[in-house]
Structure formats: structure tokens, C-alpha cells
Amino acid sequence: MIKMRIKPLEEYRIGLRQSSGIVIENVDVISAFPSPTTILGIIGAMKNAKPSQLSGIDDLREAYTSLTGNNTLSGDCDSSDNPLIWGPLIKEKDNKIYTPLFFNKLILDPIEYVKTSLNENVKVQSESLVKEIGIQIRRMNQMNRGSRNTIHLFYQKFFGSNYELEYCINIDDLKKLVKENVVALGGENRYARVRIDNGNCNFGNGNYAILLQPLLFESDSEYFVRLDNVKGLGCIDEIYGVLVEKGNKIDFNNFKVKVVYYALGYGNERRPMLQALPPGTVIKVKETCNNAKALGLLSELGFGAIYRVDPGNR
């Protein structure tokens, strides 16, 4: 694997929900962390490759096959030892490693975060554990298409560009590309500097892990079901949950198992939304999946990427 370092050059936004233009502030759902499909788009831009015109997720399958050789993206695996894309880890000037919490926060101390999830009696200081990425809210104007005399006012959120996002890419011929480039990042014509580096990737160690990307799964109609009977959760021994908000504030003694719905993006048509465990969820990985670096459906692509943690290693 080689490293791809992404440094936003300006405030940016990656939409998680389709917007028709007029956006109420509290439903403008965005992410600070590019998904594997967004990274695929960046790789395609760097290779001057045009997206496929295939529908559904067949364009993702074709991209995966073209980048990996003869491998086929099944989408139904419970884990992947060599995902195409792994990450992100987030770094600031001090080069410390941060991991994502949901889509807009940082876990500043992954080991302490996991230890807190395992022990309800552990008391932590919020400043040492979690930090919210700075958000700028801008007032936008949009002219009504039906009547040019009517202008709608709405608000959109943008993330600050303080951090560098580090991904590991399992594509050997990326080494042949220009080592540094400028590419579009997300929507609204925002740009980032992308650097390709050689070096070892830090996947962490241990049987516990923090999700870096949404872990996609699919359950049947039964409400009560064993984890290993859920499509995509076959490598998970236990789920300890994620820190959740209470009254618009993080409750640092409140880990809960939370499920979100996550869309795979847009090809020639809107792709389906799947159930997912959000980034920041703490899990215990089965010993039979010791080499796994990503879990769940489409883990070969990089969804469900995990950062392994040994809570006793401190």
C-alpha cells in the first residue's frame, strides 16, 4: 500500500444528503471525511480516467476491477485483508493520529476512547478525548428557476481546512503518477492538495477497533438476531457503541450502539441507502479475522475500515 495525503486548500463540504438547493441549517448533512467512493473519484481524476456509464453499482465494480487487475468486487464479504482504500487517519501540525467520530468530530486519543467505551466508570475530560472540527456557516442565495425575481436564502456548512487526511491505497501504479496534484474535493468546487508517498501504513494493533468509515450491513426482517447472522457483521464479536450527543453536547459516559443510513453516492442513478454503524463505533473483532483491515459489505472497496487498538497498551 502507498499513502495518499489530502490537505484541503480551503473550506470544504462533502454532502451526505442530496440538496435541491434550499437547505434548512439543521438538515444540511455533510461530512469532513471523504468516503471510499470519493477517493475513487480523486484517483480517477489523477489518472485522467472518465467515470463509467454503467448503472447501479456496476460502475464501482468496473473501477475496482480496472484498478486491481482481475479482482471482482463482490460486495458481500464480511471483511477484507487488503481493501483498495483504507482510512482516514487525521493529522494536524503535531503529527498526532486522530480518528473520525461520526462525520464531523475527531477522536483525539483512540486508546483512551476505547478504554472509556469498555468501562462505564471511567471519567474523562472532554477536551482530551473529542474535538469538533470547526464549521463555518454561510448564507447562500439561489435564484428561483421559475421566477428570476424570487431569490431564496439558505445556509450551508463548510469545514475548516486545518487538517491533513491520510489514506492508504492498494494500487501499485499510483507510484507512477505525479507525486503532488490539486484535485476537486466534494461539492461546491472546493479543492485539495494530494500527495502520494511511500511508507508504512499505521493500521494499529489489537482485537478492539474504531471504525474509520461507515460499516455497511444488511439485516433481515427479524428484530432480534445474532451478529454473525447479519450480512456484513460476521467478523464482529461485540459492539460497544459510539459516543452520542445529549442536548447538543457529547455525553462522555454515554456509549450507545447507533445505526445510520448511508448512501453510496451517485453514479448515473441514485444508489440505494444501506444500514451502517457510523465512524467512531468501538467493536471487538473476532480472532478469526485477525488480518482484516476493513469489515462489512463493500469492505474490499474500503467501507468499514478499522483502526485497531490495544486498550492495555498504555
pLDDT for 190 equals 86
Is the preceding peptide bond at 83 cis, omega within 30 degrees of 0? no
Cβ-contact 215, 281 below 8 angstroms = yes
Which three-class secondary structure state does DSSP give residue 96?
Answer: coil
Phi, psi of 164 (to 5 degrees): -105, 135
Closest to 285 in 3D by CA, of 67, 37, 43, 114: 114
User: In angstroms, rounded to a whole number, what is the distance separating the alpha carbons of residues 8 and 197?
Assistant: 17
At residue 62, the pLDDT reads: 84
Residue ranges in 17-130 assigned as alpha helix (H): 36-46, 58-68, 110-118, 126-129
- Compute the distance between CA of residue 309 and CA of residue 202 in angstroms, rounded to an integer: 11
> Looking at the DSSP assignment, which residues form a beta bridge with residue 167?
4
Amino acid at 243: L
pLDDT number for residue 189: 77
The reported pLDDT for the residue numbered 159 is 87
* Closest to 64 measured CA to CA, from 50, 35, 81, 84: 84
Q: In what side-by-side order are the strands of the sheet with 282-285?
A: 250-256, 236-245, 282-285, 208-211, 306-309
Lookup: cell for 138: 454561510
The confidence score (pLDDT) of residue 216 equals 95
Could you state, in chain order, the average pLDDT of each consecutive group of 10 residues for the chain (314 residues)? Answer: 91 71 55 90 82 75 80 83 95 86 92 87 70 76 57 72 93 78 81 90 95 91 68 93 77 82 71 87 96 95 96 76
CA 245, 248, 250: angle at the middle one, nearest 5? 35
Q: What does the DSSP assignment read for 126-172? A: HHHHEEEPPEEEEEEEEE-SS-TT-EEEEEEEEE-S--EEEEEE--G
Identify the pLDDT of residue 24: 46
- DSSP letter for 271, please: P
> What local confidence, expressed as pLDDT, does residue 150 receive?
55
**Are the C-beta atoms of 168 and 3 separated by less than 8 Å?**
yes
Residue 69 φ/ψ region, left for φ over 0, alpha for ψ in the -120 to 50 degree band, beta for the rest: left
pLDDT at residue 58, rounded to an integer = 79
* Cβ pair 16, 103 in contact under 8 A: yes
Q: Is 135 exposed, middle or buried (0-12, 13-18, 19+ CB in 10 A)?
A: middle
Closest CA to 277 of 294, 289, 291, 260: 260
